[in-house]
Amino acid sequence: MSSLSGKRILLGISGGIAAYKTPELVRRLRDAGATVRVVMTHAATTFITPLTLQATSGNPVHTELLDHTAEAGMGHIELSRWPDAVLIAPATANRMARLAVGLADDLLSTLCLALAEGVPLCLAPAMNHRMWSAPATMHNRDTLLARGVHLFGPTNGPQACGEVGLGRMEEPQHLVEDLARLFVRPWLAGQSLLITAGPTREALDPVRFLSNRSSGKMGYALAAAAAAMGAQVTLVTGPTSLPTPPNVRRIDVVSAQEMLGAVLDHIRDCGIFIACAAVADYRPVVTAPHKIKKQGENTMALVLERTEDIVATVSALPQRPFVVGFAAETEQLEANALKKLHNKGLDMVVANWVGGEIGFESDDNALQIYWAGGQKILARARKSALAYTLLELIAARLNPGLHPGLTSGHIPTPAPTGATA
């Protein structure tokens, strides 16, 4: 969240039940280093009091368009000149409609019209799922997006009315992460990144395959973050249902062998290689030409062989990029990660536990990162947020003077072993 440090955030609160989450949102924004000022609509004050927001923000709360205490009574102009960004949370269907047609009948809508060019206006929609999907709301959404307004959410889930659907406001921590991405520094400008993501599938027959539970979310988050930080990004991905991140070149593969081929085809011009894919370690020696039918026996033996070790292959190249590997573990996380770091000659290894609530298939993760002479532990957070922090660490390793916040410490060399993690 370092990109919010010193930033001035104007939080607009409109009249929705999700307004009860805004004190936590203010607290988290301040924890990220931002200064927060709050503007509330009259409807918002029926859900939460201005005094609560004044106490959490440390600044007076503004509610009136014609305020004689403001700068010559022109409070909307004074406020519109102050922020580095405006976030309206919750943004109700009514608020979105007002902004779409350019109404200026209260303080919040008026200051939005008066915003200086280049100041981001961000909305966190919150409404009943039927209101969100209504043609009028969709039209207003498209109008706002076409004007460059940023929409954070909404998300799917249970709503105050008792129904379930798309229309929940994003959680405060997620909104802080979304807002922080608007101020990401271009620390990877001029860099070329090659990232692998998702699982591989090793065919057993035309119907079945060996694979794993990787969703590809971490690798896709890294690709999106790297592009936002100014890098040229190529994403080599196994089978996933995820959309291609903006400004990312995507290459689809299926097997480990195909992934290795795609990586070697594009590694020459790459300055950073991040092996985030969960590559299947073994494949059938023989792939049946037709579907294997059930036989009379109760068991069936499969003969497997090792697949290509993509990260080790890249690490062994005579002219290699900065190589980052991933280690997903169910036991001895640090020991196994360090073995992988040393045995495969990596510049950095990113380790995480799997098998619980985070990791595979989850939007969240927690990472332990190791390199020669240093380490850093990243607590549980959304993969999209972790991606930025990890890329900052990589940028700092390439340019040690770039980021002073690295945690350094001695990392022991693991005992020699014939096996790799």
Q: Report the largest interatomic distance among the alpha carbons of the chain, rounded to a whole angstrom.
A: 90
Residue 67 buriedness (CB in 10 A; 0-12 / 13-18 / 19+) = middle
**What tokens appear for 215 in the block?**
């969703």
| Amino acid letter, residue 19 | A
Q: Match 């014939």 to its residue by tokens.
A: 418
Nearest to 181 by CA among 405, 333, 385, 418: 385
Q: Which residues on adjacent β-strands are paired with residue 164? A: 158
| Amino acid letter, residue 11 | L
- The rounded Cα 320 to chain-centroid distance in angstroms is 28
How do 322-329 and 304-306 pair as beta strands?
unpaired
- CA-to-CA dists, residue 410 to 170, 368, 376, 403, angstroms: 40, 14, 11, 19
Task: Show which residues are catalytic.
Answer: 161
Length of the chain: 421
Query: Angle at Cα 200 formed by Cα 387 and Cα 385, nearest 5°?
Result: 10
| DSSP string covering 232-243 | EEEEEE-S--PP
